Structure 1
Amino acid sequence: MTIEYSRAAGTVRKYLGAMGPSWIAGAIAAGPATMASLITAGAIFDYQLLWVVVLSAFAGALAQYLAMRLGLLTERGIVGVVEEHLGETWAWILVADVVIAAGVAQLVIMNTVTSVSATITGIDARLWGVAWGAILVLGLAGRGYRFVELFAKLLVTAVVLAFVASLFVVSIDLGQAGQGLTPTLPGGGALVAAGILGGAVHITLITMHSYTMRARGWTERDYDLATADVLASMLIAFGIYSVAIFLVSASTLTDPDLTTVGAAQALGPLVGPAAKWLFLLGLGGAAVSTLGGNTIVPPFLVADKLGWGTTVEDTRYRMLLAAFAVLSVPGAFIGGEVIGQLVLVLALGTVGTPFAIAIVLYLLNAESVGASNSTLANLGGLALLAVSGGLAANFVREQIATGFDLLSGLVFAFALVLAAATLVLLGQYVREEVTLA
């Protein structure tokens, strides 16, 4: 028994030290947009959306697991696999989907980082935008993937511990929390629910995974390690992070018109007069990690589509990474309250995600790929497609009912294009199956 225990403990320690790729996805997921969605959900709907929060952790882990399978079994980046087995048009649609979703998110996240930096230091947010752009160029284009991975693991661990500690000083209504596990969608909750799910099941997280595993040199031989990586980061760490923030918010916040400073002041009883600064530092830390992780995603896909290398050893990729980092600087000039912007950005990710899930499922079941997906994994993937598609549809219906501004109108148009592409892809798969039968 002692020998078996020692072996098990040694395996756990080995896995913990070797983990990494999925923790970058976890760092992006556990970012300011997710935090904003969770805070908004708790403040407006009390415990009613707890089921969405719990679902998001399982859905996020499942999405990363499917992406992990595709990456390991093909040992290629997802764009190259799509181009080979579906054609160049589908590859470009996927690249465009990711670049738009990640690009808009990058601008809003930069706005968050610079707004928080300006509030803490008193230095103009636009100057902070230039400074953070330079930091991104030097850190990412200079040091590459492993710098992002190490930072992600440290930050996610610290943030999870901080929010778990907060649960011990908040009075949680366990009865109402239990009722919140029953799936219901209150009026006006579609956007927030889409934001919560979009934080965990996001097209950038799904598409980046094959590239981060390649950066580590993982192959099919590392399947068990990669699976443990997904479960530890997305299901456990991200799940605890999300549930803790939501329960704290639902128990203490009552203002439906939250601002970043307003949320900090409302959380004041938890940590006393330091609440504002602790909240802003936490929000800023989450934003910085997400900003760094999100920066590497579009260059991965664009470089792969152009046939370039996807590490900083390839000068072309390095320059592409630096260019995307520089293009994030205008986010500092957006202005406005970031919480509402962050929720809408996650909703944008949600409407783009069903297409990415459909792509992964198609490839995992395509005879030409040879990935041989299991029935259980397929059922989980279809459930994931149905849930993400349903929330995206609810968001679109809610926007039609309430009217559009420029940003929500663009999200609506984006949703329609990708919905059409998803339906065409599913139809193509059905036709192929009928032909083979």
Structure 2
Amino acid sequence: MNPDSTDVADSARPRSRFGRLGRLGPAWLAGAIAAGPATMASLLTAGASFGYQLLWVVILSAILGTTAQLLAMRLGLLTEDGIVSTVERHLGSRWAWLLVVDAVLAAGLAQLVIMKTVADVFAAASGVDARIWGVVWAVVLAVGLAGGGYRVAELGAKVVVSLVVLAFVASLAVVPVDLGAAAGGLVPRLPAGVDGALVAAGILGGAVHVTLVTMHSYTMRARGWTADDEGVATLDVVSSMLGAFGVYSLAIFLVAAGVLQSPAVDAASLTATTAAQSLGPLVGPAAQALFFAGLLGAAISTLGGNTVVPPFLVADKLGWDTDVSDARYRGLLVAVALLSAGGAFLGGSFFPLLVLVLAFGLVGTPFAIVVVLVLLHDREAVDEPLSRFGTLGGVVLVVVTTVTAGSFVRERVASGLGDPLTLFVTAFATVMAAATLLLVAKSVRESLGRPDARRAPTDD
């Protein structure tokens, strides 16, 4: 992509404190996807089921999500290219295609379910058929993104996510929080039983996802950022993931733990909509209205941010500009936006589908993180080696996402291999696990063959 004059001017602005704040944005698209209804599902389940016990996991998820985006940011800044092009140049076309398929499958399936979420929530609020809302929002996405491209998506993410965070923070003002019990939740421990471990894994997995990792290099390129913009890029990630996403997660969790863990609420059948409805009789209509407004905003912001992911990756692999100035890329945006209307025609409740889609996306996340780590340790790909601290953070991310994905796959397999969905998930998991192991082995073998293989990474 050739940055337009606006992007060049953006990169050349003074680096004052207020100037930097005004330039924030690329990481907020990732934050908009992370702060979505799927993450909300895990947080509500955790708080309503176990009270404050998993507060430490909520905080850890924001830290790990920030770490993942910082690694993706570093790769994008040092290569000044999209992640797919970088993979193709340094690892080969097959690895690039595998990354594209991995991310597009996760983002595409998520797009359908997110659209169903938006349509169902608006239908519940307005009484208008959800399928009509699905078509309406698909057209809005197609027109808005095809006309304004990245800038529209970024602006929407910043505005809506900020309003969502404010809505949930405001709800805390009318919801009682037991500070003593909350403090006890800072001690790392898991509730007894398998359910506690799975819910904790779901919270962590919501912040670290293949779509978030792969999209970051493209959003920074849309701004024309280079290695000289590392300071503002770091502030962008920290303010979005550690700040906005962290506050979003914390507020939802504290509301659920403080109010929804109640005999009057059935945690097993809780959904985002029923959670909002339950707050009315428990703590008053103000809390219900604020929570419902936050739910609507979270669904909308996630829908807009997720729409741009498949077009970014496919266009980069095909050698097209990842910008609306390229009619082919614009066509991809329109196609993804319009096809997402099909999600509103899916049957069943959107809440379990959100959990399923999130878990499916996690199956391919370890591979994406390993790709980033391998490239950040490849001296032909980047000029500056990754620090030991950065490497440790990446390894922790791989472990967390692998455990989370493994739990999901084991649960599906334990339920039987008779249905097509379980067979597909199992096959996909097998392919991605084999690819991840092969990539690690390839990287180690090539590293040992280099003359500077024994050079230790820096601690900078």
TM-score by length of 1: 0.93
Q: Shift in Å at residue 402 of structure 1?
A: 4.1
Q: Shift in Å at residue 275 of structure 1?
A: 5.2
In the alignment, residue 126 of structure 1 is paired with which amino acid?
Answer: R
Paired with 2:139 and 2:306, the residues of 1 have a C-alpha distance of 16
Paired with 1:41 and 1:339, the residues of 2 have a C-alpha distance of 14
Q: How does 1:191-202 map to 2 (within 5 A)?
A: 191-202=198-209
Which residue pairs with 2:449 in the alignment?
435
In the alignment, residue 240 of structure 2 is paired with which amino acid?
Answer: S
Contact 1:196 1:346 in 2 (8 A): no
Q: Shift in Å at residue 409 of structure 1?
A: 4.7
The answer to whether 1:416 aligns with 2:430 is yes
Q: Shift in Å at residue 433 of structure 1?
A: 1.8
Which residue pairs with 1:187 in the alignment?
194
Contact 1:191 1:344 in 2 (8 A): no
**How many residues are aligned here?**
428
Which residue pairs with 2:339 in the alignment?
327
Cα distance per residue 1:73-124 (max 9 Å; x no partner): 0000000000000000000000000110001100100000110111122111
Cα distance per residue 1:183-240 (max 9 Å; x no partner): 4264223443333223211111111000000000101110100001001110111111
In the alignment, residue 205 of structure 1 is paired with which amino acid?
Answer: L
Which residue pairs with 2:226 in the alignment?
219
Contact 1:37 1:192 in 2 (8 A): yes
Contact 1:194 1:395 in 2 (8 A): no
Q: How does 1:2-401 map to 2 (within 5 A)?
A: 11-181=16-186, 182-184=188-190, 186-254=193-261, 255=266, 256-268=268-280, 272-273=284-285, 276-371=288-383, 372-401=385-414
Contact 2:171 2:291 in 1 (8 A): no
Greater share of helix residues, 1 or 2? 1
Q: Alignment partner for residue 425 of structure 1, among 439, 442, 447? A: 439
Contact 2:163 2:297 in 1 (8 A): no
Query: Partner of 2:449: helix, strand, or coil?
Result: helix
Q: Shift in Å at residue 418 of structure 1?
A: 1.1
Contact 1:170 1:270 in 2 (8 A): no
Query: Partner of 1:298: helix, strand, or coil?
Result: helix
Q: CA RMSD in A?
A: 1.9
Query: Partner of 2:52: helix, strand, or coil?
Result: coil
Q: Shift in Å at residue 320 of structure 1?
A: 0.8
Runs of at least 5 residues in structure 1 that lack an aligned partner in the other structure: 1-9
Q: Shift in Å at residue 403 of structure 1?
A: 4.2
Distance 1:406 1:44, change over 3 A: farther
Q: Shift in Å at residue 390 of structure 1?
A: 1.8
Paired with 2:253 and 2:428, the residues of 1 have a C-alpha distance of 29
Paired with 1:307 and 1:247, the residues of 2 have a C-alpha distance of 46
Q: Percent identity?
A: 63
TM-score by length of 2: 0.89
Contact 2:161 2:297 in 1 (8 A): no
Query: Partner of 2:386: helix, strand, or coil?
Result: coil
